[in-house]
């Protein structure tokens, strides 16, 4: 059990780094788009390639890198229908089942995006923008890295949760 807890602690660093990179990308995207809008409206000269850069780089980074952080903090969208009808032990096993389903999905997602990133890297994927080309193949690697980190975290979390078993809720402990 200590090994799993230690591994969960080690995986915390990349989770935090991915979160902060995603937040920085969001900030940079806001600045970039604001400069583009200002250039377009005030000077009648927008920044070339803003749409392509935003959709190929910023949005991918903002949308995918925080996945593991969301998983660590349990901030995913939840349908609470089962939590209202079940006992705490039932809810525990439902959560384990959901995490296992997510692990299966993430495994397929990571596998598919990894091989797609290899294909796009070999092809040297670029997007045409006003006045040239924007290299986008490196952003394809963000998906398998983000999903892979979330996958590692969830596997460790399921092992830790099953080893600990259902814990009494705070209201029951009183």
Band of pLDDT at residue 174, cut at 50, 70 and 90: very low
Query: pLDDT value at position 145?
Result: 97
User: Average of pLDDT values for 138-149?
Assistant: 97
- Residue 5's contacts (CB-CB under 8 Å, 6 or more residues apart) are 160
Residue 116 structure tokens: 């797609």
Mean pLDDT confidence for 35-41: 96
Residue 127, beta-bridge partner list: 134
> Do 135 and 162 contact (CB within 8 A), yes or no?
no
Query: Does the residue 88 lie in any domain?
Result: yes
Please enumerate in sequence order all residues whose Cβ is within 8 A of that of 18, keeping only pairs 6 or more positions apart, or say none.
65, 66, 67, 68, 69, 145, 146, 149
Residue scoring higher pLDDT (173 or 107): 107
Number of structural domains, the chain? Answer: 1
Domain for residue 122, yes or no? yes
Question: Per-residue b/e over 35-56, b at no fewer than 16 CB within 10 Å?
Answer: ebeeeeeeeeebbebbebbbeb
**Which sign does the torsion angle of CA 28, 149, 67, 145 carry?**
positive
Cα 93 to Cα 96, 151, 156, 159, distances in angstroms: 5, 19, 16, 13
Question: What would the mean pLDDT of 66-74 be, rounded to a whole number?
Answer: 92
- Please tell me which residue, 103 or 94, carries the higher pLDDT value: 103
Residue 114 lies in a domain: yes
User: Is 93 inside any structural domain?
Assistant: yes
Q: Is residue 173 situated within a structural domain?
A: no
Smallest Cα–Cα separation from 97: which of 162, 153, 146? 162
Question: 82 or 96: whose pLDDT is higher?
Answer: 96
Q: Average pLDDT for residues 49-54, to the nearest whole number?
A: 93
**Contact status, residue 15 vs residue 68, Cβ threshold 8 Å:** yes
Residue 46's domain comprises 2-168
Q: Is the pLDDT of residue 92 over 90?
A: no
The residue with greater pLDDT, 151 or 167, is 151
Answer whether residue 174 is part of any domain: no
- Whether 97 shows a pLDDT value over 50: the answer reads yes
């Amino acid at each position: 059990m200590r090994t799993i807890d230690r591994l969960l602690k080690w995986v915390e660093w990349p989770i935090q780094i991915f979160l902060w990179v995603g937040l920085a990308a969001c900030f940079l995207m806001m600045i970039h788009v604001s400069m583009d809008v200002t250039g377009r409206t005030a000077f009648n000269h927008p920044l070339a390639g803003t749409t392509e850069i935003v959709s190929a780089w910023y949005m991918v980074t903002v949308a995918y890198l925080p996945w593991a952080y969301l998983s660590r903090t349990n901030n995913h969208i939840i349908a609470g229908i089962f939590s209202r009808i079940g006992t705490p032990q039932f809810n525990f096993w439902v959560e384990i089942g959901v995490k296992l389903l997510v692990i299966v999905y993430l495994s397929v997602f990571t596998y598919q995006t990894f091989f797609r990133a290899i294909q796009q890297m070999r092809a040297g994927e670029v997007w045409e923008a006003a006045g040239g080309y924007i290299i986008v193949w490196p952003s394809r690697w963000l998906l398998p890295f983000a999903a892979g980190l979330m996958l590692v975290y969830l596997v460790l979390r399921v092992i830790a949760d099953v080893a600990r078993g259902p814990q009494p809720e705070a209201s029951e402990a009183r």
